[in-house]
Amino acid sequence: MGESPGQAERQLIDRARSVRRRLSKVDLPRIDPAATPGLPRLADDGHKEWSRDQVRRLGVLLAERQNCLYARAKAGVDRRRVLLVLQALDCGGKDGTIRSVVGALDPLGVQQRAFGPPTEEERAQHFLWRISRDLPPAGFIGVFNRSHYEDVLVVRVRGLAPEKVWHRRYDEINAFEAALAADGVTIIKVMLHISRAEQGVRLLARLDDPIKRWKFNPADLDDRQRWDEYQRAYGDVLTRCSTTAAPWYVVPADRKWYRNWAVANLLLAHLADLDLSYPEVDLPVEELRARLEANNG
């Protein structure tokens, strides 16, 4: 049975929107990190292969839309840009998601930023200063590997600032993101949600495998000991900072193949909403062709 490319594309977009709906519930304690919301039931148990193939197809659609977004900015007709914010506890799969999903995009139009502990220069500024500096330019898809949310997560859990300081940051973040959204930034915030058991497995793998050992940071064990505090801090982020302008999504991330598929769907749902088309270019085509041909003659 043949289905037209347009039809297949519409089906993928419809499903992406339905996956997005399923992932917009942000009641963290009730979300199972091993769940697979929105995943169609298959006759066999080939979900892993199926999702890998789907991520490839979704990637093609994402790259087409990204290309339009980029072209529109270059043509000067559109300043819109996209910001994907990835947050997770250690081993949550931020790097893997970037490789598998963002990797399908054209690197020309991607701006990736990773946020670690602030430098001395950054600490002398407002916590949103370094974030503002690293926002994606018009036409770009920006990816934040950690973000301003660390300033209400690690800062809160490790007591790096007094409560009265981090507490007012939720409102500051909401105001900041609302202003960005009003200025044409599509903000997609994703928490990759893993279980404590799965984090243990992944940390052990990092320790045991010489190829992965460089990723092992002994300080991660301190954060692991504060698991419950982090869950509470994430829970507050999700309930206080999930807004219409900048929604949060919780992606169950114990299964890497589901995680990749889910994030690809979230990106596609939002890019499809931008309703992108290539810019109309006003050029005297015939005259230019004649010049080109004359020069070639």
Where along the sequence are the contacts to ligand AMP (CB under 6 A)?
115-118, 146, 150-151, 154-155, 160
Q: Between 78 and 90, whose beta carbon lies closer to Mg ion?
A: 90
Q: Between 61 and 192, whose beta carbon lies closer to ligand AMP?
A: 192
Residue number of the CB atom closest to Mg ion = 220
Beta carbon of residue 164, minimum distance to ligand AMP (angstroms, whole number): 17
Q: Between 57 and 146, whose beta carbon lies closer to ligand AMP?
A: 146
Beta carbon of residue 144, minimum distance to Mg ion (angstroms, whole number): 16
Q: Which of Mg ion, ligand AMP, none interacts with 78 (beta carbon under 5 to 8 A by kind)?
A: none
Separation CA 170–CA 13 (nearest Å): 32
Q: Between 140 and 230, whose beta carbon lies closer to ligand AMP?
A: 230
Q: Between 126 and 289, whose beta carbon lies closer to ligand AMP?
A: 126
Beta carbon of residue 217, minimum distance to ligand AMP (angstroms, whole number): 6
Beta carbon of residue 90, minimum distance to Mg ion (angstroms, whole number): 5
Under the rule (CB under 5 A), what is the footprint of Mg ion?
A: 90, 220, 223
Beta carbon of residue 152, minimum distance to ligand AMP (angstroms, whole number): 9
